[in-house]
Every structure is written in C-alpha cells, then in structure tokens.
Amino acid sequence: MTDPRAIKLDANLDHVVLARDFVAEIAAQVPMDRQQIHDLELVVTEALTNVIEHAYGGREDSQMELAVTHEDDQFTILISHDGLAFDPETVPDPVMQEYLAQRRVGGLGLFLM
C-alpha cells in the first residue's frame, strides 16, 4: 500500500484547483489514462464545492483535508472537514426528464460522484 498523501486546504473555491492538481499528479503516477484522471478531477471538484457551499455555508475561515491512497487498482480519496454532516441516502434519485424540462443548473453533483 502506498502511504497516504494529504493536503490541507482553506475552504474557498480557489483552493479546489489546488486539490484537483494534487489528485491529478498522484493519479498520473499510478498510471491512469487522461479520462480517468479527468473523472477524478470532476469528483474532487464536486465534493469540495459541496463541502464549501453546504457543510461550511460558504464560510472561508475553515479548512478541509484531502488524502489520497492507492494500492494495486484501488485509488481512494478521503475528504475530511468539521462542517455540517450530510447523509447522501436522504437525497432521492433525480428524474432526469423533469430536471431537464426545468432547465435546472446544478444539483447533480452527488450523482456525478
């Protein structure tokens, strides 16, 4: 198992780019193909944005930690924070026809992850 690599980040959207770059750099060493790395970057962006906007309510005086480990073909990303907790099981699956008909923007991050 590879020792976990971690980065501490301020809870602001500017630091999401730092986290994406951090994960992409580690993933490239695994190696992963460009699409897999892009998918990981999307997941990290969505997860950290949710922490910043929902767990911390946009407060930028807080921190998050992102840790990455990989072993064989398993790549794990753990995001820690001390903001509000969230249970993803409480969110119903979206009805895509209704979602698209309403021309909604956002709200699918959990399902993208």
DSSP character string of 35-100 = HHHHHHHHHHHHHHHHIIIIISTT-SS-EEEEEEEEETTEEEEEEEESS----GGGSPPP-HHHHH
pLDDT of amino acid 1? 44
Q: Is the pLDDT of residue 83 over 90?
A: yes
% of the chain exceeding 70 in pLDDT: 88
> At 7, which helix (H) or strand (E)?
strand 5-10
Residue 84 phi/psi, 5° resolution?
-65, 140
Task: Read off the pLDDT of residues 28-81 as tens digits, 9 standing for 90 and up.
Answer: 988 889 999 999 999 999 999 989 988 998 888 899 999 999 888 888 999 999
The residue type found at 41 is E
pLDDT band at 2 (very low <50, low <70, confident <90, very high): low
The residue type found at 83 is G
Q: Is the pLDDT of residue 95 over 50?
A: yes
